[in-house]
Amino acid sequence: MNAVDLTKKLISIPSYVDSSTNEREIAEYVYQYLSKISWLTTVKQNVENNRFNVIAYSSMSPKLLLVGHLDTVQPSANWQTSPTQPIQKNNTIIGLGSSDMKSGLAAILSSLPKKKPATELMILFYVDEEYDFAGMQRFTQEYQDKIQPQLIVSADGDDCAFGYACRGLIEFSAIIKGKSGHAANPDSGINAITNTTTAIKQLTRKIKTYSSPELGASTLNLAYLSGGQNQGFNQQGQLELGRQGNIIPDIAEIIIDIRPANQSLTAKQVVKLLRSELEKNGLKLIQTKIRHDLGAWITKKQDLLKVTRLVNNPKFINPNNRGYVDLQMLWQTFNQIACTTYGPGDPACPHQPNEYVPIKNINQASKFYKLLISSPDTI
C-alpha cells in the first residue's frame, strides 16, 4: 500500500486510550503488516493491560533505529467530521492522528523494500506516547543493553523539517501549608493561597535562569491551584477544603509543569527551589508527587549532516517552543548518539479537532525514509 492509503487505513483504526479503546487493534494491524516482510523478524513487546509495542528488525545489531508511536490523543468534542473516518479534501487527509502521527507511521511502513536493504535496521512502534510514556519506558528497559544503534530517527515531527532538540518535562503536584486565622486580622494567619502565588512568581524567575544556547530559557506553568481550610484527606486521598469566607486558608494544592532547557534542572532541584521560596513566604511544603522528571535532548546539527543531506534545502524545527519529544529517552539511553525527528505532520494541528495532514508531506516523508534505509553511508 502507498503512504497515503496507509495513512487513511491507520486513521480508520482508533488508537486513543480510554476505558474502552486502546492501541491494541492498530498494533495488531502493524504487526501483521511487518510480519509479511520476509527480511524482518517481528515481535510483540507486552507493555501493560494487553497493550503492546511492535518491534521489527533485520538484525539484532541494528545501525539505524526508526521509531513512531501508535496512540493518539482522545477525540475532542469539536470535530466537524467523524474523527476516525479519513476524508480527503483540498490535498489533505483529515482525521484523528493524521498529523500526529499516523502519516509518519505510514511513511516508515511504506518505505520498507521487498528485498533486504544494506543498512541493518530496527523499527519500534510503541504505545502510550500521548499519556505516560509506558511504551517507550518498556522498550528502553529491555533494549538498553541489547542494541547499540548509531542513528535514531523518529517520524513524530512536523513539516518535513528536522528536529534536533527539545526541552524536558517536569510535572509534579505539591501540598502547601500556611496558618489559619481570622479574616478580620490578616496578620493572625498565613494565607496559603496568596502566599503560594507569590512564591510561584519568584520560583518562575529562578527557573528562567536555567538556560542553554540551543534551547533558550526554562519555563514554568502553574497548571492547577486550589486552597481553603484544611479538613484532612478523604478516602480517595484527596484534600477536603473548607470554603468559609471569614477564615484565612491554611492549605493549598498545586500542579506545576516545567520545561527545563538545561540538564542541571531536575525535579529534585525544582522541589528544592520551591521549598526555599515557600519558606520565604512563611509556608511549608508538606508533600510532593512527581509525575514526570525528563531532561532536555540536544543533538548538534553538525552530527546530523549526513542525514540532512538526503533532502534538498533541509529545514529545521525551532526547538524553543517545541513540546517534549520522548525521543529524548532514547538519546539518553543510547549514550547521546545522533537523534532526529522527521515527519509529515502539519505543525498547526496536532492535538486539535479537525486535524489534517498535507498529502504532499506524506509523499515527501515516505521518499525520505526510502532514501535513508537504502543509503548505508548516512550512518
The residues that touch Zn ion, with contacts defined as CB under 5 A, are: 100-101, 156
CB of 125 to Zn ion, least distance (A): 12
- DSSP-based helix, strand, coil % in the chain, nearest 5: 30, 30, 40
CB of 41 to Zn ion, least distance (A): 26
Q: Specify the residue, 161 or 270, whose C-beta has the smaller distance to Zn ion.
A: 161
Q: Specify the residue, 179 or 292, whose C-beta has the smaller distance to Zn ion.
A: 292
CB of 200 to Zn ion, least distance (A): 29
CB of 129 to Zn ion, least distance (A): 6
Q: Specify the residue, 86 or 344, whose C-beta has the smaller distance to Zn ion.
A: 344
The residue type found at 147 is I
Query: Rounded to whole angstroms, what are the CA distances from 338 to 1, 51, 193?
Result: 30, 29, 45
Half-sphere exposure of 10 (CA within 13 A, CB side): 33
220 contacts 258 by C-beta, under 8 angstroms:
yes
Q: Specify the residue, 156 or 253, whose C-beta has the smaller distance to Zn ion.
A: 156
**Rounded to whole angstroms, how far apart are CA atoms 8 and 93?**
7
Q: What is the DSSP string of 129-142?
A: TTTT-HHHHHHHHH
CB of 273 to Zn ion, least distance (A): 31
Q: Specify the residue, 250 or 326, whose C-beta has the smaller distance to Zn ion.
A: 326
**Rounded to whole angstroms, how far apart are CA atoms 113 and 51?**
28
Q: Specify the residue, 26 or 283, whose C-beta has the smaller distance to Zn ion.
A: 26
CB of 42 to Zn ion, least distance (A): 22
CB of 192 to Zn ion, least distance (A): 38
**Rounded to whole angstroms, how far apart are CA atoms 75 and 211?**
35
**Rounded to whole angstroms, how far apart are CA atoms 277 and 274?**
5
Cα Rg for the chain, rounded, in angstroms?
24
Record the cell numbers describing residue 59, joined without a space. Answer: 538484525
CB of 167 to Zn ion, least distance (A): 16
Other beta carbons within 10 angstroms of residue 344's beta carbon come to 30
Q: Give the DSSP letter of residue 158.
A: B
Q: Specify the residue, 210 or 342, whose C-beta has the smaller distance to Zn ion.
A: 342
Q: Specify the residue, 69 or 370, whose C-beta has the smaller distance to Zn ion.
A: 69
**Rounded to whole angstroms, how far apart are CA atoms 345 and 343?**
6
**Rounded to whole angstroms, how far apart are CA atoms 155 and 187?**
57
